[in-house]
Chains A and B, each alone.
Chain A
Amino acid sequence: MAEIALRNIVKRFGSLVAVNNLNLHIRDKEFVVLLGPSGCGKTTTLRCISGLETPDEGKILIDEEDVTNKRASKRDVAFVFQLYALYPHLTAYGNIAFPLVAQGLSKKRARQEVDRAAQILRIKHILNKKPRELSGGDMQRVALGRAIVRRPKVFLLDEPIGTLDAKFREEMRAELKKLHVDIGATTVYVTHDQVEAMSMGDRVVIMNLGVLQQVGTPHEVYNKPKNLFVANFIGSPGMNFISCKPLRGPGGKLTLRLPGVNTTIAIPDEIQRIIIDKKKEEKDLVLGVRPENVIFSRKEKSNHLQTRVYVVETMGSYNITDVRLGDETIKVRTVPSILPEVGETVYISFDPKRISIFDEETGDSVV
């Protein structure tokens, strides 16, 4: 059992407010990812949970116990740092067993625990090796092993796989997620990589400049971003953004004028109503469309915008075609069999059911 509650956490470093009034409830057995660019306050938040930092204001509760002023070693949390925090003179076995020996566990029990961890992490064959003989990935696994054997209430991980090769990162993402399913310990994970956040988190906590932006499941933050920051940060390739302004068209219908492209697009009745209800008719807005929601055609079609192919990127299981619309580049996701020529004239439209609209000034989501 381990729930974590952060209540009105404020942490300052001099005049910098690193974490600004953060409220967060992390459920037992949940895998929560703190996501944001550098300087967003994610690592400071993690360090407050671990006890390595004490917040200036607010409370931290673990299982309803106030641990705000409790020392790190008394909190029953395991902190896994970025790679290489291993004792160089000890073998992999010695490194993993270290916290158990420190706790005074018998050699036999320690061996059992290390074996169990090694089994989960598939590192039995390297237990006799020293860190310098290990690959980066194996060192990471040993560092994880050292955290697992303690059977802590909470795992705290700070960008543990950031420095690995792309392929290996992918493997470790699956492995960490699997480990979480198998062990079921509450996990708080910090990263700036949205792919890691999306693919591992039960919920993702997005922060910017010390301020919480959105908390939600990967599906929620992807499909219903609360503001431009989240919409821009989540998804690869990212969401397309086009400046626009509501305009009364013929028959009184509300349309979106795209000044950069010198064209106007129709929007569904429901979205028209929301724009009016939220009093955004006079505002500068931003239209957001994910690459998979851009409809693509190589033949001229009614209600499609004429564009030109800038670059085509093949991904294997899909392609991304960049097209130029005025001064904007729009990314379009297509099946791999669609391979237009660079410079070719093509036609796009936006799936009206799957568009997002933001207030340009505040950045907040309108639709």
Chain B
Amino acid sequence: MASVRLASLTKTFGEVTAVDNIDLEIDDREFFVLLGPTGAGKTTTLRLVAGLEKPDQGEVYLGNVSVNDLSPALRDVAFVFQYYTLYPHYTVRQNLEFPLRSKLRRLSESEIDAKVSEVARVLRIESLLGRETVNLSGGEMQRVAIGRAMVRTPKVFLMDEPLSNLDAKLREEMRTELARLHLDLGFTFFYVTHDQIEAMTMGDRIAVLNEGRILQIGTPDETYNSPENVFVAKFVGSPTINLFEASIETSTLVVGKKTLVCPISGTQQSSLEKYTKRELILGIRPEDIEVSKEKKEADSFKCTVYFTQSMGVEDILNLRINDLVLRAVVPPKLLARVGDTVYASINMKRSHLFDSETNMRL
């Protein structure tokens, strides 16, 4: 097992800087997720770690050893591909043996056998060894795919969107399986995804990447509850956080032409004073807005239901106040319909404030 360290790593392709001066430390046995939209540089980062790309600048360390000059085969990292890259009409045993039969390895039959048995035992797939992979469930296939990487006893597992092409149900099942496997096996996982749910549910820590730069590294709790900048606030969390241009006027936060006037609590007031007259961005998560059909709180806002989206367990209300649209998550029993007048109150204690010039959290 091993930690991973990326130091001032940069990779350009022609004019495009795919990875821009990244510093990152992944602990031994950590489940680390690199999260970002398409084109953020996630896959390039992973390929740099694997040695499939050469950095323009910077170093990749596995353990405490720089591996910049090592070929991929000598780096002891394993790519876990999407599960359907298993050979379908081979048995599980044949799939697991495959990487061991590489001519480079020169292993004896008994060595191969021992290795496969060991991996199958750890992954609890011993009873499946004789089955063809086409006859396996999704969860079983995931284990075999990981097993195929494991037989090589890598130091680090690299996973590039392994769940992205699965249907929703299977993806859900696989998330649980992967999180649990990581706990059971205790390997270092370096996992890439564009799906914030995967990052939140499986990662010990998440690095949010955009345009080749790391915008925040933190636990799921930190990235969700204390986003360091507007991009992270927006990218993590579903439904997406509400973001409004705001300014501080006489101890209140004002959005639009006084469309929303939100009180600032006493403790916040002193620290926010210096931002008076600055342009700010106010972020409010949809679950931090309470909606009722009657006016309950003095400082609630009257709004109209613009459109609604059901999530089954809850509904997303898109509310209109003048030209603002506010997303709120409500229990379905509220039964709000398009055109209804409702009252929204914002839990300002859980609001997020950013400087609109730098997009950084205040």
Q: Does B70 contact A (CB under 8 A)?
A: no
Task: Specify which of B200, B221, B312 lies most central, judged by the most chain A CB atoms within 10 Å of its CB.
Answer: B312
Decide yes or no: A314 and B221 within 8 Å by CB, A165-B37, A181-B338, A322-B176 being known contacts: yes
Q: Does B197 contact A (CB under 8 A)?
A: yes
Q: Does B196 contact A (CB under 8 A)?
A: yes
Q: Are B306 and A178 in contact (CB under 8 A)?
A: yes
B45 to A: closest C-beta gap in Å: 17
Q: Are B172 and A316 in contact (CB under 8 A)?
A: no
> Would you list which residues of chain A between 215 and 257 have a CB under 8 Å from chain B?
217-219, 222, 232-238
Q: Are B194 and A235 in contact (CB under 8 A)?
A: no
Q: Does B238 contact A (CB under 8 A)?
A: yes
Decide yes or no: A329 and B176 within 8 Å by CB, A165-B38, A193-B168 being known contacts: yes
Interface size class of chain B, counting residues whose CB lies under 8 Å from the partner chain: 35 or more
Residue of A nearest to B333 (CB): A219
Q: Are A317 and B220 in contact (CB under 8 A)?
A: no
Decide yes or no: A238 and B196 within 8 Å by CB, A199-B316, A222-B310, A311-B179 being known contacts: no
Enumerate chain B residues within 8 angstroms of A173, measured Cβ to Cβ.
309
Enumerate chain A residues within 8 angstroms of B104, measured Cβ to Cβ.
none
Decide yes or no: A313 and B176 within 8 Å by CB, A174-B309, A218-B310, A238-B169 being known contacts: yes
Enumerate chain B residues within 8 angstroms of A342, measured Cβ to Cβ.
183
A291 to B172, CA, bound (A): 13
Q: Are A314 and B313 in contact (CB under 8 A)?
A: no
Enumerate chain A residues within 8 angstroms of B329, measured Cβ to Cβ.
317
Q: Are B309 and A310 in contact (CB under 8 A)?
A: no
Enumerate chain A residues within 8 angstroms of B240, measured Cβ to Cβ.
167, 170-171
Enumerate chain A residues within 8 angstroms of B202, measured Cβ to Cβ.
313
A237 to B312, CA, bound (A): 10
Decide yes or no: A167 and B172 within 8 Å by CB, A181-B307, A311-B179, A320-B201 being known contacts: no
A166 to B329, CA, bound (A): 19
A15 to B261, CA, bound (A): 65
A276 to B158, CA, bound (A): 55
Residue of A nearest to B219 (CB): A314
Q: Does A105 contact B (CB under 8 A)?
A: no
Please tell me which one of the listed residues B168, B197, B306 contacts residue A315 in the complex, with CB atoms under 8 A apart. Answer: B197
Task: Specify which of A173, A174, A311, A315 lies most central, judged by the most chain B CB atoms within 10 Å of its CB.
Answer: A311
Decide yes or no: A195 and B168 within 8 Å by CB, A166-B195, A219-B310, A234-B312 being known contacts: yes
A205 to B: closest C-beta gap in Å: 15
Q: Are B37 and A235 in contact (CB under 8 A)?
A: no
Enumerate chain A residues within 8 angstroms of B220, measured Cβ to Cβ.
314, 316
Q: Does B357 contact A (CB under 8 A)?
A: no
Residue of B nearest to A171 (CB): B240
A284 to B195, CA, bound (A): 39
A167 to B231, CA, bound (A): 12
Q: Are B168 and A178 in contact (CB under 8 A)?
A: no
Residue of B nearest to A31 (CB): B307
Q: Does B332 contact A (CB under 8 A)?
A: yes
Q: Are B310 and A198 in contact (CB under 8 A)?
A: yes
A181 to B304, CA, bound (A): 13
Please tell me which one of the listed residues A170, A198, A310 contacts residue B239 in the complex, with CB atoms under 8 A apart. Answer: A170
Please tell me which one of the listed residues B168, B175, B221, B313 contacts residue A292 in the complex, with CB atoms under 8 A apart. Answer: B313
A160 to B65, CA, bound (A): 47
Q: Does A333 contact B (CB under 8 A)?
A: yes
> Would you list which residues of chain A between 309 and 339 have a CB under 8 Å from chain B?
310-311, 313-317, 320, 322, 329, 333
B118 to A: closest C-beta gap in Å: 24
Residue of A nearest to B285 (CB): A317
Q: Does B15 contact A (CB under 8 A)?
A: no
Decide yes or no: A195 and B311 within 8 Å by CB, A170-B238, A317-B285 being known contacts: yes
Enumerate chain A residues within 8 angstroms of B239, measured Cβ to Cβ.
170, 174
Enumerate chain B residues within 8 angstroms of A219, measured Cβ to Cβ.
310, 332
Interface string of A161-181 (1 = CB under 8 A from B): 000011110110110011011
Please tell me which one of the listed residues B194, B221, B236, B327 contacts residue A165 in the complex, with CB atoms under 8 A apart. Answer: B194
A320 to B: closest C-beta gap in Å: 7
Enumerate chain B residues within 8 angstroms of A291, measured Cβ to Cβ.
313
Please tell me which one of the listed residues A233, A236, A316 contacts residue B236 in the complex, with CB atoms under 8 A apart. Answer: A316
A192 to B312, CA, bound (A): 16
Residue of B nearest to A199 (CB): B309
A331 to B: closest C-beta gap in Å: 8
Q: Does A194 contact B (CB under 8 A)?
A: yes
Enumerate chain A residues within 8 angstroms of B167, measured Cβ to Cβ.
37, 192
Q: Does B237 contact A (CB under 8 A)?
A: yes
Enumerate chain A residues within 8 angstroms of B81, measured Cβ to Cβ.
none
Enumerate chain A residues within 8 angstroms of B201, measured Cβ to Cβ.
313-315, 320
Please tell me which one of the listed residues A136, A311, A333 contacts residue B180 in the complex, with CB atoms under 8 A apart. Answer: A311
A333 to B311, CA, bound (A): 14
A316 to B199, CA, bound (A): 11
B247 to A: closest C-beta gap in Å: 24
Q: Does B189 contact A (CB under 8 A)?
A: no
Enumerate chain A residues within 8 angstroms of B224, measured Cβ to Cβ.
314, 316
Q: Does B188 contact A (CB under 8 A)?
A: no
Interface string of B154-198 (1 = CB under 8 A from A): 000000000000011100100110011001000000000011110
A195 to B307, CA, bound (A): 16
Q: Does A200 contact B (CB under 8 A)?
A: yes
Q: List 20 A-B contacts (CB under 8 A).
A: A165-B195, A166-B196, A167-B235, A177-B307, A181-B306, A181-B307, A192-B167, A199-B309, A222-B313, A233-B169, A235-B313, A236-B168, A237-B172, A290-B312, A314-B200, A315-B200, A316-B200, A316-B225, A316-B237, A316-B238
Closest 10 CB pairs of A and B: A218-B310, A313-B201, A199-B309, A222-B312, A316-B224, A166-B195, A317-B287, A165-B194, A181-B307, A198-B310
Q: Which residues on A are within 8 Å of B, measured CB to CB?
A: 37, 136, 165-168, 170-171, 173-174, 177-178, 180-181, 192-195, 198-200, 217-219, 222, 232-238, 290-292, 310-311, 313-317, 320, 322, 329, 333, 342
> What 9 new A-B contacts, CB under 8 Å, besides A174-B239, A290-B313, A311-B180?
A199-B309, A218-B312, A222-B310, A233-B169, A310-B176, A316-B236, A316-B238, A316-B285, A320-B201
